[in-house]
Amino acid sequence: MTDNTMWQGYLIQSNGDNHFINSPWKLGDECVFGYDSDYTTMAISLIRYLSIEKSNLSLSSIDERINQQTIIAATQIEVNPSGYKIKCNDDASLQVYIGDEGVFHLAFDSMQDIDEEKYSKIANAWQNESNIMNTSQGAYISGQQYDESLESRLSLVAQNHQGIIWPQRQMDSEGTNISQSYVKIEPSGTVTSWTKLSAAGAPSEFAIRAPILGGISTVMVETNDGPNGVFLLVDDIPTSPKIGDSVDIVVRMLYAQEGFIRYGAKAIITNRS
């Protein structure tokens, strides 16, 4: 059995081919999700963790509490009968395994107490946001538009066309259609600029949660492979960014609208705790 490893903001344990991931947050004796995490974001992180050591990972079953479209877009994992199973637990943890389910224990010593009031407000806010009646009153990302770039957004799939292009582009400056010769950008980079938006300065999609979080922070990142991107910082690690900070790009919940959650890439600062 491995010790608890902190990975993309979560805690991971392994025992043979059984792997366990849990939120680092606790409320009393209960393991609870961070402010922008759910089973889907944790499953994506665990698959990515396993992908470092194992190539050709596949899944045979995915717990219904996980968004299947999102996990496949974010990890590009295949589904076949000999693959891993993903099973969510009743608290903020899940397992990925082959064969029999393993027995793991939460490492409470490695976990932190979450602010109960804030946690409750955020949970209510997500519930309100996810109501199908919460619809756009103007400009927004439609479901179709969100889906079109899902793979590029979640797994940083880029094009290799006289250099790496991300986000993907249709034609180059010569009017030539850019080929579908995909490469994946390494999900890490350096902060080149940042801002913290008050609730008044953020898009209305964030209007319910931004006041509870005390604003939201966005960083511009130059990835190690070259392309730049803008990303929110994860919601449950309140760090004030600096230009030059190192970051990892992870998947978290962005916001909910029209009854479904938009997932996206967010940044975690890695050179400071």
Partner 1 sequence: MLPAGGAYMVDVAIVGAGQTKYGNHQLGMKGMWAEAARSAFDSVDKDFHPKQIDEAFIGSVAFGGGQLGNTAALLTEHSGMQGKPVRRVENACASSGFALRDAWMAIKSGQADVVVAGGIEKMNDLTPERKRFWLGVSGDTEWERLAGLTFPGTYALMARRYFHEFDSTHDDLVHISVKNHHHGLENNVAHIRKDVSFDKAKSGFMVADPLTLYDCCPTSDGASCVILAADHVVKQFTDDPVWINSSAAASDYLALHDRPSITQLIATQMAAKKAYSMAGITAKDIDLAEVHDCFTIAELLATEDLGFANRGKAGLFAREGRGRRNEGDVCINPSGGLKSKGHPLGATGTGQTVEIFKQLRGEVESVRQVRDAEVALSHNVGGSGATCAVHVYGRDK
Using CB under 8 A as the binding rule, whether residue 176 contacts partner 1 is answered as: no
In whole angstroms, the minimum distance from the beta carbon of 257 to partner 1 comes to 10
* Closest C-alpha to 187, from 224, 212, 228: 224
Site string for partner 1, 19-58 (x = CB under 8 A): ----------------------------------------
Query: Which is nearer to partner 1, 63 or 222 (by Cβ)?
Result: 222
Half-sphere exposure for 13 (CA within 13 Å, toward CB): 19
Strands 112-113 and 25-27: parallel
In whole angstroms, the minimum distance from the beta carbon of 241 to partner 1 comes to 10
Site for partner 1 in 177-236 (CB under 8 A): 192-198, 200-207, 216-218, 220, 227-232
Query: Which is nearer to partner 1, 60 or 228 (by Cβ)?
Result: 228
Site string for partner 1, 128-167 (x = CB under 8 A): --------xxxxxx---x---x---x-------------x
Footprint on this chain of partner 1 (rule: CB under 8 A)? 136-141, 145, 149, 153, 167, 192-198, 200-207, 216-218, 220, 227-232, 243, 254, 262, 264
